[in-house]
A and B are shown apart, each in its own frame.
Chain A
């Protein structure tokens, strides 16, 4: 968790709300990831950004919209979510090499009512 922060840590929202999750890394990395972790399910990769360019969208519904304004910041904009979107959303960063370590933030626990 060191070096990668996520805000807010907890979020409760209704299905008609719009909210954003924020991730910030202070490690000088240039690749950033969003993952979704639901109860009893494997970790799901959502998006990957390398050098601020989106390089992976793992068939994520359009109600999730990522934004990466620079290599240190990553956002996940949320709108018109469904209750099944309730999960722990994890951000990670790494250097853009295939063998380097990913560092994870503490996650945002999202509950959709």
Chain B
């Protein structure tokens, strides 16, 4: 079985400050983990993906995430937020037991000028 928990429904930061979006997962197999971003009235765009290679994954737009098996976490970070980063972010887990990925409930990132 697989599940994913996004620990914050909303995160608010100032432009130029670091971003941290938290995600914990559970999986019966070696999981693949994803972060997607969704801007208003748009589809979901892949930010980055972990598939048992390097534990620190770099994605688009300066985002990165670190896979920590001991903590069952896959937190998303960015050193400096831009106004254009304001969006909904989804953490997703997919393991060898299912072809149906499991989505978190989403974290809304708010960026203040």
Contacts and interface: CB of A to CB of B under 8 A. Distances in A.
A113 B92 CA distance: 33
Pick the most buried of B32, B43, B100, B106: most chain A CB atoms within 10 A of its CB: B43
Interface in A1-58: 1, 4, 6, 31, 42-43, 45, 48, 50, 55-56
B100 A1 contact: no
Nearest to A103: B46
A66 interface: no
B34 interface: yes
Interface string B5-39: 00000000000000000000000000010101000
Nearest to B6: A42
Interface in B78-104: 90, 92, 94-101, 103-104
B99 A98 contact: yes
B75 interface: no
24 contacts: A1-B43, A1-B45, A4-B43, A6-B43, A42-B104, A43-B90, A48-B99, A55-B99, A88-B41, A92-B44, A98-B32, A98-B94, A99-B32, A99-B51, A100-B32, A101-B46, A101-B49, A102-B34, A102-B101, A103-B46, A104-B36, A106-B43, A107-B42, A109-B41
Interface of B: 32, 34, 36, 41-46, 49, 51, 90, 92, 94-101, 103-106
B44 A98 contact: no
Nearest to B96: A98
A101 B34 contact: yes
A107 B96 CA distance: 28
Nearest to B101: A102
- Which are the 5 A-B pairs with shortest beta-carbon distances? A99-B32, A104-B43, A104-B44, A106-B43, A42-B105
A97 B101 CA distance: 11
A43 B89 CA distance: 12
B51 to A, nearest CB: 6
Contacts of A45: 100
A90 interface: yes
B96 A99 contact: yes
Contacts of B99: 31, 48, 50, 55, 96-98
